[in-house]
Amino acid sequence: MDLDGVLVLDHSEKQDATATWKKTCGHYPLMAFVDHGSAGSGEPVAGLLRPGNAGSNTAADHITTAQLALAQLPKKYRRGAGR
């Protein structure tokens, strides 16, 4: 699983859009992608919508996004105590 934030710019004040670190206006969602082996597609499985001023290393947001992503996987692909 890969977690990655992506800056989405808005040209106007949209709901929950805020000033970004690049001095623009927008959102900074955190996305989760999974790979399916050597021919993996990098399929998106979860996304957490966040304001443009959200921190890039916010642990709580990463944990929430990871939990959302893992909940999308079939049980046979999950490992650990939460099986």
Tens digit of each residue's pLDDT (9 = 90 or more) over 30-76: 999 987 677 767 789 999 998 888 888 889 999 999 999 999 888 88
Strands, E, within the chain: which ranges?
2-5, 8-9, 18-19, 25-27, 30-34, 43-48
Domain count, the chain: 1
Q: Does 25 reside within a domain?
A: yes
Q: Does 82 reside within a domain?
A: no
Of 22, 20, 10, 1, give the one whose Cα is nearest residue 72: 1
Range of the domain at 34: 2-73
Q: Does 61 reside within a domain?
A: yes
Q: Does 19 reside within a domain?
A: yes
**At residue 8, does pLDDT exceed 60?**
yes
Q: Does 81 reside within a domain?
A: no
Which pLDDT band, with edges at 50, 70 and 90, does 80 fall under? low
Q: Is 23 left (phi over 0), alpha (psi -120 to 50) or beta?
A: left
Q: Does 35 reside within a domain?
A: yes
